[in-house]
Amino acid sequence: MTHFKIIFSGPVGAGKTTAIAAVSDIPPVTTDTEPTDETRNLKATTTIAMDYGVLHLDGDERVHLYGTPGQDRFSFMRPILAEGAIGVILLITNTRPAPLADLNEFLDAFHTVIQDTSLAVGVTGMDIHRHPSLDHYRQTLLHAHVTAPVFEVDARRRPDIALLVQALLLNIDPGLDDTRPPPTTEPPPAHTTARDYW
């Protein structure tokens, strides 16, 4: 059995807990509790340590999904959770005041992990705020010299989150895509360009 570990991160309210619950094939583990700090006014519950779920892929592949806490004071948890991960999914929500600043903040926070592994970005809350557009997100990534696929997702919808996970996996290992043509004698590129999914 092959096991992969993926990290979900992003600001409070972006949909990390919801996304992991939506896509997990096991009852998700969450440590959501009543917030006592500044997030109290934002949500009824918030993640203090982490979320965990497992996605079963075809064959015997298992993707272990870990959600990081959003608040700054738990930032020390991020490298701990990222240990051994093959990639990061950043969820950014258009319902917060400065979503592109949020994206930059999390690109910074996961700089090393993103450099060493792979990234996919999911934008939630676009049903509420269309702005910034996906193009704005792509420009921001370009500016930060980061290559990553960007999708509009609703964290409550399993197919949306499954797509995001698949995009991340394809970005890491082109061989995981069964629909691609048979391999040629050319060695595959170290990284497929994420633009393929844009």
Ligand X SMILES: Nc1nc2c(ncn2[C@@H]2O[C@H](COP(=O)(O)OP(=O)(O)O)[C@@H](O)[C@H]2O)c(=O)[nH]1
Report the interface residues with ligand X, using CB under 6 A. 10, 12-18, 43, 47, 70, 124-125, 127-128, 154-156
Shorter beta-carbon distance to ligand X: residue 124 or 140: 124
**99-109 helix and 134-143 helix, angle to the nearest 10 degrees:** 40
Q: How far is the CB of 185 from ligand X (least distance, A)?
A: 44
Report if residue 93 touches Mg ion, rule: CB under 5 A.
Answer: no
The listed partner (ligand X, Mg ion, none) that binds 37, CB under 5 to 8 Å by sort, is none
Q: How far is the CB of 48 from Mg ion (least distance, A)?
A: 9
Distance of alpha carbon 62 from alpha carbon 100, whole angstroms: 32
Nearest one of 40, 87, 44, 81 to 63, comparing CA atoms: 87
Report if residue 47 touches Mg ion, rule: CB under 5 A.
Answer: yes
SS3 call for 36: coil
The listed partner (Mg ion, ligand X, none) that binds 155, CB under 5 to 8 Å by sort, is ligand X
Q: How far is the CB of 175 from ligand X (least distance, A)?
A: 31
The listed partner (ligand X, Mg ion, none) that binds 96, CB under 5 to 8 Å by sort, is none
Q: How far is the CB of 44 from Mg ion (least distance, A)?
A: 11
Distance of alpha carbon 41 from alpha carbon 36, whole angstroms: 10
Size of the site for Mg ion (CB under 5 A): 3
Considering only 9, 17, 68, 94, the residue that binds Mg ion (CB under 5 A) is 17
Q: How far is the CB of 101 from Mg ion (least distance, A)?
A: 20
Nearest one of 172, 173, 196, 3 to 88, comparing CA atoms: 172
Q: What CA–CA distances, in Å, run from 161 to 8, 47, 71, 156, 157?
A: 11, 19, 22, 8, 7
Shorter beta-carbon distance to ligand X: residue 74 or 100: 74
Distance of alpha carbon 7 from alpha carbon 156, whole angstroms: 18
- Given the rule CB under 5 A, which of 1-9, 14-22, 112-120, 132-140 is the region that contacts Mg ion? 14-22
Shorter beta-carbon distance to Mg ion: residue 16 or 96: 16
- Whether 50 and 20 have beta carbons less than 8 Å apart is answered as no
Nearest one of 3, 186, 64, 132 to 121, comparing CA atoms: 132
**Residues of the shown chain interacting with Mg ion in the complex, contacts defined by CB under 5 A:** 16-17, 47
